[in-house]
Amino acid sequence: MPDTGRRVIVTESQVHQGLLKLRNKMEVTSRKTYKPSEEGAMWYLMAKYHFPHLLEELFPDYEDRINDTFTLVLKSGP
């Protein structure tokens, strides 16, 4: 998709709210791996690159894996 030059400003609060929704959906399924929706992946990636402290706070036990798809995986330990 070509860059149209449009920019969207997203606040930390908005990203935090999006991550809370993602975490709530993950808690319902309680799986070791979770493939988020496009919206959930968007919030996660925004936090990863702009507000990493939110991921440390809300997803301390998960790491992301990006291959063909985007997946959150429970960390196996130290």
Q: What are phi and psi of 44, to 5 degrees?
A: -60, -45
Residues 42-71 have a mean pLDDT of 90
**Residue range of the domain that includes 33:** 12-74
Quickly state the pLDDT bin for 2 (edges 50, 70, 90).
low
Give the model's pLDDT for residue 7.
77
Q: Are 65 and 71 in contact (CB under 8 A)?
A: yes
Domains of the chain: total: 1
Residue with tokens 């995986």: 73
Give the model's pLDDT for residue 66.
80
**Residue 44 placed within a domain:** yes
For the entire predicted model, the pTM comes to 0.78
Quickly state the pLDDT bin for 77 (edges 50, 70, 90).
low
Give the model's pLDDT for residue 78.
55
**Residue 24 placed within a domain:** yes
